[in-house]
């Protein structure tokens, strides 16, 4: 009964915050991203008093990622998400994290676009500023230790923040993923919340 009340309260609080605009933010136009960077920089917000500290919650409709703190607070990061049909809602475990990670496309990515991804299918791309995973990556697994191939990572395309363009992963500005990387512990719970128009 307590769990049901907590879940209902969590949902109600998110709806209330969204309705009042406390969570929602309009991202700047792409050409103004650098100029208006302070407006989308990570910052603390009221989030949900029922959640423990140390969790990650991705809200796709807001293009926002929240890292929960004590006292119902969270750090809010602007993010990009998976394109239509590739965003995968669910609850995961952040099994491990890497600095300047190597990137290897998934078999599905190679199949969808062999011309673009095929050259990296075997050896991947070494970490560095040209790597699609950017400066840091968090690796998401299922509760039974299966790699989902979903990542929360940086990006070498900062103008994609606030858009649904990825192959399923959530992406942050490189400075932001570095900040999140230092805050989150391996083993953390990660929730990719459903998209508003997703069927139940």
Active-site residue list: 153, 169
Q: Write phi, then psi, for 115 (nearest 5 degrees).
A: -65, -40
Nearest to 187 by CA among 58, 72, 55: 55
The three-state secondary structure class of 62 is: helix
Q: Kindly calculate the radius of gyration of the chain based on its CA atoms and give it in whole angstroms.
A: 17
What is the spatial distance between Cα 128 and Cα 134, in angstroms, rounded to a whole number? 7
Neighbours of 75 (CB within 10 A): 18
Token pair, residue 63, equals 């293009």
What is the spatial distance between Cα 59 and Cα 81, in angstroms, rounded to a whole number? 9
DSSP per residue over 104-138, as a string?
Answer: ---HHHHHH-HHHHGGGTTT-B-SSTTSTTTTEEE
Nearest to 192 by CA among 4, 41, 63: 63
Residue 137 pairs in a beta bridge with 98, 153
Residue 190 pairs in a beta bridge with 56, 92
């Amino acid at each position: 009964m307590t769990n049901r009340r907590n879940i209902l309260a969590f949902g109600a609080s998110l709806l209330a915050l969204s309705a009042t605009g406390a969570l929602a933010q309009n991202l700047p136009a792409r050409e103004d991203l650098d100029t208006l960077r302070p407006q989308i920089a990570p910052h603390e917000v009221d989030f949900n008093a029922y959640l423990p500290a140390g969790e990650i919650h991705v809200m796709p409709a807001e293009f926002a990622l929240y890292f929960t703190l004590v006292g119902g607070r969270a750090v809010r990061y602007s993010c990009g998400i998976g394109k239509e049909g590739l965003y995968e809602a669910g609850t995961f475990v952040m099994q491990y994290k890497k600095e300047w990670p190597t990137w290897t496309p998934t078999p599905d990515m190679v199949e969808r676009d062999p011309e673009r991804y095929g050259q990296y299918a075997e050896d991947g791309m070494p970490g560095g500023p040209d790597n699609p995973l950017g400066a840091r990556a968090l690796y998401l697994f299922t509760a039974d230790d299966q790699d989902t191939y979903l990542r929360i990572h940086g990006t070498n395309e900062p103008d994609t923040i606030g858009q649904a363009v990825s192959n399923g992963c959530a992406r942050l500005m490189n400075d932001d993923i570095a900040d999140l990387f230092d805050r989150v512990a391996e083993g953390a719970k990660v929730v990719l919340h459903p998209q508003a128009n997703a069927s139940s």
